[in-house]
Amino acid sequence: MKIFRFLIIPILVLFSNTSASHAEVFGIKLNNQSDTDTNTFVSPFKEDNERCFKCHGQSKYEYTNETLGRQVKELMYSERIVKRELYYNSNHKKFSCTDCHSAEYLKFPHAGELRMEQKYNCIDCHGGDEKFAQYHFEEIDAEYQKSIHFKLEGEGFSCWKCHDPHSYKISVRNQDNLKETIAYDNAICLNCHSNFDHFQLLTDKEEISLIQKHDWLPNQATHFKSVRCIECHTKINDSIKISHLILPKEEAVKRCNECHSQNSILMASLYKFESKAQRRDGFFNGIILNESYVIGANRNEYLNLLSLIIFVGVAGVIGIHILLRIREKNKTY
Amino acid sequence: MYLYPKWIRLWHVINAVLFLILIITGISMQYTDKENASYIVGFAKAIKYHNYAAIILTINFIIFVTGNLLTKNGRYYKISKENFLNELITQLKYYSFGMFKGEKHPFPVTEDRKFNPLQKLTYVLALYVAVPLLIISGVGLLFPEITVSKFFGVSGLIYTDILHISMGFFLSIFMLIHIYTCTLGAKPTSLFWGMISGYHRDDEHHS
């Protein structure tokens, strides 16, 4: 029974990380992206912007109601709240509010017709500008126009539905923050697809359950934590960083082999920018191993060879043994 | 000589069928190909059948260990330290040379000695080392969220998987040798019939 004492060791190793791992499942923390920049970055428009943040920076605002002749406290409509820390940590942090919004907003109460103002799209600023050429915004726009989301433009869909200009931050992907990037990117999709308040603004469809829709997916929680929605729901494009051609659900990847294979599509999507880094330990698609492990995609060529040699060796010994037995039998008779 | 009680024979046949399912589905998962979705068994089906078979195998293994603790069958697996290495060499010499010279089996089967030293060693290694490691690593892969997420900068799942496929591979090789050595009876089929009927005939070699 001594053997069981030894068995307890791998069991303890196996379970040692349990609590941490469970907390990470579905651990999508959109607001918890690194806030370090907030402390160091000071906007040249900080004071100007504060005129807006004074009311829009939190859920409560106050104003003097001249008709009543007193201070009034009101709740800010949640969709109109812009958190300072998120804004000053976002890609657009250097802008003044009135760079994009009408200067007329500086007057309070705001004029009603201002709500109808035309809003900029990404391409309005980023298109045709050499400074942003490396991001291929024009190609992103062309892909978007072919995507299933573009068909909802009439219903009010726009770049901003996924990329809130007040908080969006490009998630730089590296081996240290891959899981965070995955959670951040998936939260963008879940913002509508698992939030019926947002979803119903764009479609008359009934509420969907993503968990149920993905029932067929083994180890669902692990998949959701380890890959982004867009891995299966977009068409891979080699020339842009993130594919924006969202496919209709019928065309989404459903064959396990697309990822779980030697030529895994993950190498052209999630691990696209890491795949150039080579590992020399014989693992196929080895770069995945730094963060995760994909059955079928991460087999090792040396172990394959070794197992083949052992198998052939054993089969050879058995073959020789059979021949010797046949010879012995023939001698006897 | 009645050597194999019903519960052992039932455990054995269930184990054999499960091993075959697990080997076929395991190879199907390990060697998937993007273009050829149905390599032996399609990936999705392979996962499903592999998981079900593994759960049954685990239960079957628990029954086997419990049975060995509660019945006398467990004593056949006890290795005595004295002379074991010499006995092992004797058995190996017999399989390599002796049996071709018409020598008698050095460790004939008795009610107290069901296995020869080579059998004892391989069965103990397979059933008390490889299978438990296979099951533990299998649980780690079945529930990846409970597996160590990172170890020396690499996903803990890769170590778990390498342990799992190595044990799976060695047990597959064990199964191959086990089936072959079972043809070493008086007739190539006698030992297989013994495992079906429960009776071992004295005039046979044994695997």
Domain boundaries of chain B, sorted by first residue: 6-197
pLDDT on residue A84: 94
Note the pLDDT of residue A149: 93
Query: What's residue A27's pLDDT?
Result: 40
User: Nearest-CA residue of chain A relative to B174?
Assistant: A314
Give me the phi and psi of A16, to 5 degrees please.
-65, -25
C-beta of residue A140 within 8 angstroms of C-beta of residue A244: yes
The alpha-carbon gap from B86 to the nearest alpha carbon of chain A, in Å, equals 22
pLDDT higher for A38 or B77?
B77
Q: Flag if B34 and A258 touch (Cβ within 8 Å).
A: yes
Q: Residue A225: which of B149, B183, B56, B104 has the closest Cα? A: B149
Buried b (16+ CB within 10 A) or exposed e, A281-294: eebbbbbbbbbbbb
What's the rounded Cα separation, in Å, for the pair A138 and A124?
10
- For B136, residues 6+ apart whose C-beta sits below 8 A from its C-beta are A7, A10, A11, A14
Instruction: Report pLDDT for B108.
Output: 83
Mutation choice for B interface testing from A220, A256, A294 by most B CBs within 10 A:
A256
Question: Which structure tokens are listed for B196?
Answer: 């079906």
| CB-CB contact of B166 with B200 (8 Å) | no
* Residue entry with tokens 């669902």: A220
Please give the Cα distance from A158 to A138 (Å, whole number).
Answer: 15
Instruction: Note whether A56 and A80 are within 8 A (CB).
Output: yes
Residues of chain A short of pLDDT 70, as ranges, are: 1-39, 172-176, 273-280, 290-291, 332-333
Across the interface, whether the CB atoms of B145 and A221 are under 8 A apart is answered: yes
CA distance A227 to A183: 9
B6-197, superfamily in CATH? Answer: Transmembrane di-heme cytochromes, Chain C (1.20.950.20)
Q: State which residue of chain B sits closest to A24, comparing Cα positions.
A: B145
Q: What's residue B38's pLDDT? A: 57
Cβ neighbours of residue A325 closer than 8 Å, sequence gap 6 or more: B99, B100
CA dihedral A315, A320, A326, A329 (to 10 degrees): -120
pLDDT band per the 50, 70, 90 thresholds, residue B11? very high
Global pTM reads: 0.76
What tokens appear for A50 in the block?
């504060």
**What distance in Å separates residue A185's CA from the closest CA in chain B?**
21
